[in-house]
């Protein structure tokens, strides 16, 4: 079942039953719904990894679905990379034990626009899309390389972030351990000169976006977190094991 809630009232406004194809590569740590759904304001895209990709309108009607095949992960972890939509394209990155690749689909039809192999083993980071110098760039962080972005990234699932210069790739902050967080599944998010990092134990650190590590605030929720935070205007959404939280 897929539920859609109003961000202002948390009232459930749409629901639909999802019929998924059979798949056998389920990890012990989580189920096939690890990826966050994404929307372009017209359609909702739900990625269940090896179990399939589905597209709905915002009233819950299924528009199309794709079976992109099985991925083979290691370390008892399943797939976790979320799709990203931009300018009529849907970007999927699948870094795995077999042939890794990036695939771009037509957001309206689900048809493949282009696909390229990647020389990467297991990775779970969601791609980021930027418009720089009149060109659209798809930025990916993976096990071998991090390419061209100004963002904190983490060593494995440990609380040891690094920071690179977006223009030169030079290391600004190299593998610096964070206090109060011991394990991270969520990707960091940034807004208004701050970077938000949420640990599995419910602690969120607010860092200043700068060339040195400066913690502005520590906040703790009594829950477990694996999903990445989502930003919308002045609101921060956190999906825990027990509740969905909205911080404003």
Instruction: Give residue 17's pLDDT band: very low, low, confident or very high (50, 70, 90).
Output: very low
Alpha carbon distances (Å) from 98 to 27, 54, 105: 17, 24, 21
pLDDT at 24 over 50: no
pLDDT for residue 141: 73
Contact of 150 with 164, CB cutoff 8 Å: yes
Q: What's the rounded mean pLDDT across residues 178-194? A: 86
pLDDT, greater one: 24 or 153: 153
Question: Does any domain span residue 111?
Answer: no
Write 219-225 long-range contacts (CB < 8 A, 24+): 219/247, 221/245, 224/200, 225/185, 225/186, 225/198, 225/199, 225/200
pLDDT number for residue 7: 59
By the 8 A CB rule, do 121 and 144 touch? Answer: yes
Is there a domain that residue 188 lies in?
yes
**Domain-embedded: residue 187:** yes
CATH of the domain at 199: 2.40.128.630
Confidence of residue 1 (pLDDT cuts 50, 70, 90): low
164 domain-assigned: yes
In a domain, 117, yes or no: no
What percentage of the chain exceeds 90 in pLDDT? Answer: 28
Q: What is the mean pLDDT of residues 144-157?
A: 62
Residue 26: pLDDT above 60? no
Residue 163 above 60 pLDDT? yes
Q: pLDDT digits over 2-15, tens only?
A: 555 555 655 554 54
65 or 172: which carries more pLDDT confidence? 65
Say if pTM beats, i.e. exceeds, 0.85: no
Q: What is the pLDDT of residues 103-129, one digit of tens each?
A: 889 999 999 988 878 777 777 778 888
Domain count, the chain: 1
pLDDT band, very low/low/confident/very high, at 102 (cuts 50, 70, 90): confident
pLDDT of residue 152: 65
Please check whether residue 7 lies inside any domain of the structure: no
Quickly count: other Cβ atoms within 10 Å of residue 146's Cβ.
16
Other C-beta atoms lying within 10 Å of the C-beta of residue 152: 22
| Structure confidence at residue 237 as a pLDDT band (50, 70, 90) | very high
Has residue 104 been placed in a domain? Answer: no
Please report whether residue 170 resides in a domain. Answer: yes
Note down the domain range covering 181: 150-248
């Amino acid at each position: 079942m897929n539920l859609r809630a109003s961000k202002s009232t948390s009232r459930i406004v749409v629901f639909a039953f999802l019929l998924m194809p059979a798949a056998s590569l389920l990890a012990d740590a989580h189920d096939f719904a690890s990826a966050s759904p994404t929307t372009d304001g017209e359609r909702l895209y739900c990625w269940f990894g090896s179990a399939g990709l589905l597209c709905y309108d915002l009233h819950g009607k299924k528009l199309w679905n794709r079976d992109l095949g099985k991925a083979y992960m290691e370390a008892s972890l399943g797939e976790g990379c979320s799709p990203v939509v931009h300018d009529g394209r849907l970007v999927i990155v699948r870094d795995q034990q077999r042939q890794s690749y990036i695939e771009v689909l037509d957001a309206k039809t689900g048809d493949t626009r282009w696909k390229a192999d990647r020389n990467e083993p297991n990775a779970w980071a969601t791609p980021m899309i930027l418009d720089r110098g009149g060109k659209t760039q798809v930025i990916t962080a993976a096990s071998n390389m991090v390419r061209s972005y100004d963002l904190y990234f983490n060593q494995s699932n440990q609380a040891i972030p690094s920071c690179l210069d977006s223009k030169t790739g030079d290391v600004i902050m190299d593998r610096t351990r964070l206090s109060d967080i011991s394990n991270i599944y969520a990707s960091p998010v940034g807004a208004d000169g701050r970077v938000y990092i949420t640990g599995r134990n419910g602690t969120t650190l607010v860092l200043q976006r700068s060339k040195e590590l400066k913690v502005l605030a520590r906040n703790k929720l009594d829950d477990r977190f694996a999903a990445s935070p989502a930003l919308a205007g002045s609101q921060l959404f956190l999906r825990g094991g027990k509740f969905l939280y909205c911080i404003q």
